[in-house]
Each structure stands twice: as C-alpha cells, then as structure tokens.
Structure 1
C-alpha cells in the first residue's frame, strides 16, 4: 500500500477541503446491494477502508446500525473522530490488508478515493475474510472536477472558461499524482474491476455526478489537499533551496491555478472567497457481491 495523507498538515487540508460524498452515490451502492441480498430496514455493519477523515463514511450514516471507518494514518483518524457527530460511527487505525474486524461480519465494505493505492491481491483476500458470504463491496473515486464559473453570464464565454480551467486543473492533478494512481484513475478503475474476484460485479462510469457550489479558495484548498501535491512541493523546494518566494510561485501549481482563474475570469480585484463556481465530480464505481 502506498502511504500518503498521513502528516498533520495534509490531514487538516483534507478534512476541510475534500468533498463529502453525496446521497446519489449512497443510493447507487445500496441499489446494487439490494439486487443480490435482502436487507432489513437498517443494515447491520459497514466498514469504510482507508476512510481518511470520513468523507464517505458519514454519507452512509442513516443506512447502517454500525459503521467502522479505518485508516492507516493516526492523524486522519484523529480528524475523523473530531468531526464525527454520529453515535453509530466509530473510527479506528487499520489497513486495507489487515482490517480489524471479525471474519464474516461485514454487510458492506466500501473504499473511496483510495483502493488504487492498495496491494489489491492482499486487500481482496482480507475483504473476503471480513465480508459476509453474501456481502457487497463498493470501490469508487473521481478525477479532477469540472469547474464552471458562476460569475460569467455569457454562456459561450462561460463554457470556454470552464473547458480551459478544468483542463488546467486536470493537467496539474496528473503532474503531481503518483504513477500507480494515475494508471487506475485514468482508466476509471477498469483494471480494478477486471481484477475483482467476484461472482457478481458492475463497473459504472457514467451519469453519477456530485455537484458543489464552491469558491476559488475551496478549489485551491482541494488541490492542496492532494498528498502528491504536497510531495511535489517538498521535492521542488529541496531542489531549489535558495529560491525566493517569487520563484516558488512559478512552479507552485496552486498559485498558478489561482492566477489563471483571476486573470482569465477577469476577477483580479475580487477576493478568492467571492469568485464563485460549480465543481462537478464525475464518480466511477466498482460494485461486487459474493467475493470468490
């Protein structure tokens, strides 16, 4: 497993700026589960593997009697516990290859924006151990969001700026993201879908979009919440130890993105929190039942 998102700085960015998963994702996951097994009014146990600070964990709060979020990072678990407002959710330190739950106990195992960093063979073996024989698994993620300016009124200009801003964000995201993650994310988890040892499985890549009203401060915070961005900045600063603050800005992707938006959207005199936009995250999922 690739270990990222662990130091205190990145976890604070993560809990503040990572989008929480919306009901449309929960509904799609539970629809699949209900196709293959009969649930009571409230399902018994769900585990969220590599839960971070709980962006996906809490989304299922109303659907399970008990939910456990596990993460390899004590700092992520600390943030998740601080943000937790639900009696039926608890957070524990654990890994995808060593889930701290009993054999055949889990109704639903989920992992959001994380399984592309797992040792998949070991993870699938451990998932089969903890899941009930008819249990379900949902692995899902997204790439960089589509950004749509809200302050631009002319539709053609708004579309042009959306295309250019989204392309730049995707480019920056790809530059700072590790090769293994890019391999899986670029293919929208197709290779993970093929690798899942399950009797019943689905791969969903279309028509599931989470929409958020954001400002420029949130967009920049989202980029900086990427652990690979933090590693990139650390590497660049080590290579250019004597660089001035102005020189750093030339390769700081967050600064470059902010400057682009302010300049091209013609909002250089507007505060970041007043530069409004929609952020659309296109979610792709691998759903599986009855692991072999």
Structure 2
C-alpha cells in the first residue's frame, strides 16, 4: 500500500501551485523511447525503427499529484489517465485540467484500473518512492503492451542561479532539508532528492533500459514562492503536524530572512525574484516484444 502524505486539500493546492512542470525535452525523450520498435536482426545487431510521426494510443501517469507530470503527455498520446491515491490531489488535478484527452482517477499504484496489455506507456514522476514497488512493477507488466515502456523520473532540490551567491543560497535549502527537518523526512523522500532512485528497490524489471540525467527546467520564482515550494515537502508537513503551525511558520520565516540577507537586498520576499533550476533524472525500461 502506498504511503499517504499528500491527501490534505491545502497540501494539494500547495503542490499544484509550487511544484515544477517537467521540461518538454524530458517528455519528448520518454515518448521517443516509447515509439521505438527495437528488435534483433539475424546477425545479432540491434536495430531501431522509429515511428515518430504517430501518437501513442494510451498512457497512464501514476502518482500524478495535481497533474503537472500528466499534462506533458497530452500532445503525444491519444488518451492519458492520471492516477493518484489521494482524492484531494485528483480533485485539484481535475479542477486545473485543460486537456480533453486527459482524465484523472483515484487509484493506488498497486491496483491499476486497466485491462491486460492495454497501455503503451506508464510514467511516474516524483512518486514511486511511496509505492509498494514489487506490486507496482507487477501491475505495470500486466497492463503494458509488448514493447511498452515504463518511465520513472524525479527532480532534485531547486538550485538558485546567482553569479555571486548561488552556492550559499542552495546551502540554505540543503540545510533545511538535511538538518532542520531530518527527523521528519521519510526514507522514500531521501531516495529521490539524495539518491535519484539508484537504490536496488528501483531496479527496473526490463533488461532494455536506460538512465538519462541531462534534463532540467528553469523557473523564475519569488523568495515567497520558493518558500511555498518548501511547504509542499512531506518532511515539512510532518514537522507541521507534529509541532504545530507556529513552529512551522517560524522555520519558514527564518529561511526567508536568511535567504534575503544572503542576497543582500532590502526588498521583501514577495518582491524578490530568483531563477531556480530543477535537474531531473529519468529511468526507462521496455517490456520485451512477443
């Protein structure tokens, strides 16, 4: 059973507002890999036949949250289904949905509502560390067509881009996560931000696989918006639940004060903007063709 850390309506709204949208380059890489027909020729040489002009028939984005990772599939797939165990997240995703070929459903990752061999692609962004991975992999193998693709990916802490203080600003984010919230951070979260899904439990079940860490997305945010992003961390939500709103607010205010002082500006957090870079990592595997 997946862990349930993102079910509150307020948390779902923060997740929708502050979490990054995956870059187009990452979506194109996933779809390109999913469209390849790989086979072995008689002399044992691997060949690739691309059908890049065609759209995929059906895909699912598991652990979709408020839909950022589901939306990127819309231009490339005829029918996309976003699924999340949290009803609050699904309601938020439905409220924000602008794509007629996307639907959202409440569903755990371990029991997916699709028939056998019915999907060309299954994705999961920043979510599978909450899953029962053996059960999830079993379901993925059941619903993927032969040659279908599973793509797992996530992103690291946002790195402030600044010619003078970039490293110092990043260290404030790193310290908050590793020190101030360390007793409240779930092990699965560490396996994303610190481990990039390199632990043995994430080893893909298909031999035809690859890892790609070349993608990133830049986002301009105010210091107040960056602080809002930090509230979407499960570790922060656990701290808030244990210690109360006042203690949680104090952590955020201290972070903002240090960030502004490091920048050496006199503007407020709401008035101060900073470029942020989110680096992504991607694991993909292809189900064998029959």
Q: Same fold (TM over 0.5)?
A: yes
Gap regions ≥5 residues in structure 2 = 39-49
SS of equivalent to 2:116: coil
Q: C-alpha displacement at 1:192, in angstroms?
A: 5.4
Kept in 1, the 8 Å contact 2:155–2:192? The answer is: no
How far the C-alpha of 1:35 sits from its partner, in A, is 3.5
CA distance in 1: counterparts of 2:189 and 2:252, whole angstroms: 20
**CA gap 1:278/1:203 in 2 versus in 1, 3 angstroms:** same
Q: Which residue of 1 aligns with 2:254?
A: 256
* Residue 289 of structure 1, aligned match among 255, 280, 286: 286
- Is structure 2 residue 121 aligned with structure 1 residue 108? yes
Could you say which residue in structure 2 is the equivalent of 1:22? Answer: 23
**Whole-angstrom CA distance in 2 between matches of 1:22 and 1:281:** 9
Instruction: Give the drift of 1:34.
Output: 3.1
* 2:73 counterpart SS class: helix
2:221 is equivalent to residue 221 of structure 1: no
Say if 1:137 and 1:289, in contact at 8 Å, map to a contact too: yes
Q: CA deviation at 1:62?
A: 0.5
TM-score by length of 2: 0.87
Task: State the secondary structure of the residue aligned to 1:217.
Answer: helix
Q: How do residues 43-54 of structure 1 correspond to structure 2 at under 5 angstroms?
A: 43-54=56-67
Query: What's the counterpart of residue 88 of structure 1?
Result: 101
- Which structure's residues are more often helix, by fraction? 1
Is contact 1:10-1:227 (8 Å) kept?
no
**Distance in 2 between the 1:235 and 1:194 partners?**
30
Pick from 123, 134, 153 the counterpart of residue 136 of structure 2.
123
Shift of 1:194: 5.8
Gaps of 5+ in 1: 150-154, 239-244
1:109, 1:193 → 2: CA distance?
Answer: 18
Q: Secondary structure at the match of 1:26?
A: helix
Task: Report the number of matched residues.
Answer: 272
Q: Which residue of 2 aligns with 1:200?
A: 208
Distance 2:252 2:171 in 1: 14
Q: Which runs of 4+ in 1 moved over 6 A?
A: none
Q: Structure 2 CA distance, aligned partners of 1:144 and 1:138?
A: 20
Q: Which whole-Å CA distance do the structure 2 matches of 1:126 and 1:132 have between them?
A: 12
Work out the CA distance in 1 between the residues paired with 2:64 and 2:202.
23
Between 20-29 and 56-65, the greater mean CA deviation after superposition: 20-29
Cα deviation digits, residues 5-32 of structure 1 (max 9, x gap): 1111101111111111120110221232
Q: How does 1:1-292 map to 2 (within 5 A)?
A: 1-36=2-37, 39=51, 41-149=54-162, 155=163, 158=164, 161-174=165-178, 175=182, 176-191=184-199, 195-205=203-213, 207-237=214-244, 245=246, 248=247, 252-267=250-265, 269-290=266-287
Native 8 Å contact 1:184 1:192 kept in 2: no
The 2-side partners of 1:44 and 1:173 are apart by: 40
Give the match's secondary structure for 1:53: coil
Partner-residue secondary structure (3-state), 1:288: strand
Deviations 1:142-171 (A, max 9, x none): 12110124xxxxx4xx2xx21011122123
* Post-superposition offset of 1:100: 1.0
